[in-house]
Amino acid sequence: MADDKTKTAADRRLVSGTQKYEVDYFARKHGIAAADARRIIKQHGSDRDAADKAASRLKG
């Protein structure tokens, strides 16, 4: 299922672990490995705020 680019507000608050470009972006944004990004997204679901906080804690 492709992302709907017309959904700009609510859709941007979510992160998809099934979309490679989303995982790559998340990993680059936080300076972590893609494997760590996938693990964080899997643990925290699509809640971007929770995933961002977890990535920040991981990075130190």
Per DSSP, the residues of 12-42 read GGB--TT-HHHHHHHHHHHT--HHHHHHHHH
Q: What is the pLDDT of residue 10?
A: 55
SS3 category, 6:
coil
The Cα 31–Cα 28 span in angstroms is 5
Sequence-separated (6 or more) residues with CB below 8 Å from residue 20 = none
Q: How many residues are listed for the chain in this entry?
A: 60
Q: What is the pTM of this model?
A: 0.71
Task: Give me the tens of pLDDT residue by residue for the chain, a chain 60 residues long.
Answer: 556 666 555 565 667 667 888 899 999 999 999 999 999 999 998 788 999 999 999 877
